[in-house]
Amino acid sequence: MARNPCDLRLLLLAAAAAFIYIQVRLFAAQSHYADRLAEAEKSENQCTSQLKSMIDQVSMQQEKIVALEEMKIRQDEEHAQLKILIQDLEKRSVQNLLNKNVVAVAAVVIMACNRPDYLQRTVESILKYGSRLNHLQKSEKTVYS
> What digits encode the pLDDT tens for the residues 69-120?
999 999 999 999 999 999 988 888 877 776 765 544 455 555 555 666 776 7
Alpha helices in the chain (DSSP H): 5-100, 116-144
Who contacts 85 (Cβ-Cβ below 8 Å, separation ≥6)? Answer: 110, 123
Measured at the CA of 112, the angle between CA 92 and CA 124, to 5 degrees, comes to 45
Annotated domain spans of the chain: 1-73
Rg (CA), the chain: 45
pTM above 0.85, yes or no: no
Percent pLDDT > 90 in the chain is 51
Provide the CB-side half-sphere exposure for 47 (13 A, CA).
6
pLDDT tens per residue across span 44-55:
999 999 999 999
